[in-house]
């Protein structure tokens, strides 16, 4: 019985390590999607739609990979000696990570539509939206660092958790600034609608980052970290 119990403990730890490593890999794929969105935004702002479309192609691939990685992780989470609540929290976390990539894809679709409809967006508006997408990158980076530092002690983990919350507030502030500039511009209604949807997608990706960290905070609190 003692030997059997020892094997179960070893398997449980091994499964937890597999999930941790898988979560980090999943986060890096999501980071790829967010990075490509920012590169596409920069290319469009510089009047280079061809490069922007190449970035979007890579983003679409990353989003699909994030979905596949998330599905595999959920399968891994279903095994091991976790409580029902821990399993539910982890699956919620994984799906919220998927949403970051999914909202990045939504943003990319609206960039495509802006190009295909030849909608004119003023330089100052592109600059504001670029700032939003640029701030999304460090947000996801801090989220990945939370996953990397879960075993390194609470100080590093809590510092990165707070950094994600801070970044989300920055993006919220930029969101309102972007919307204001859009409505004060002379863009036609079609361009206004598309750029607003792009801005909304970035905001929702940031909200998904915050939701991930909310879940991590709950899990850490439950374990009294």
Chain segment 131-188, per-residue pLDDT in tens: 999 999 999 999 998 887 765 557 888 899 999 999 999 999 999 999 999 999 889 9
Contact call for residues 123 and 42 (beta carbons, < 8 A) = no
Domains and CATH numbers, the chain: 2-222 (1.20.58.220)
Long-range CB pairs of 43-51, under 8 A, 24+ apart, other chains included: 44/111, 44/114, 44/115, 44/121, 44/126, 45/123, 45/126, 45/127, 45/130, 49/115
Phi, psi of 16 (to 5 degrees): -65, -40
For residue range 46-85, list pLDDT tens digits in order. 889 999 999 999 999 999 999 998 888 888 777 656 677 7
Alpha carbon distance 29, 19 (integer Å)? 15
């Amino acid at each position: 019985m003692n030997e059997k119990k020892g094997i179960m403990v070893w398997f449980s730890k091994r499964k937890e390590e597999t999930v941790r490593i898988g979560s980090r890999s999943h986060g890096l794929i999501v980071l790829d999607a967010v990075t490509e969105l920012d590169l596409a935004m920069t290319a469009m702002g510089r009047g280079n739609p061809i490069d922007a479309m190449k970035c979007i192609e890579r983003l679409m691939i990353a989003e699909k990979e994030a979905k596949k990685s998330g599905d595999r992780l959920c399968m891994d989470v279903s095994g091991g000696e976790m409580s029902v609540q821990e399993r539910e929290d982890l699956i919620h976390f994984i799906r919220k990570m998927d949403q970051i990539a999914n909202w990045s894809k939504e943003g990319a679709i609206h960039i495509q539509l802006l190009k295909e409809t030849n909608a004119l967006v003023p330089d100052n508006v592109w600059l504001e939206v670029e700032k939003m997408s640029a701030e999304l990158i460090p947000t996801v980076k801090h989220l990945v660092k939370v996953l990397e530092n879960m075993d390194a002690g609470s100080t590093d983990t809590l510092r990165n958790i707070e950094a994600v919350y801070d970044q989300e507030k920055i993006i919220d502030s930029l969101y309102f600034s972007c919307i204001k500039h859009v409505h004060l511009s002379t863009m036609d209604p079609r361009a206004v609608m598309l750029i607003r949807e792009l801005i909304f997608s970035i905001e929702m990706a940031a909200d998904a980052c915050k939701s991930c960290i909310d879940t991590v905070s709950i899990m850490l609190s439950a374990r009294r970290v």
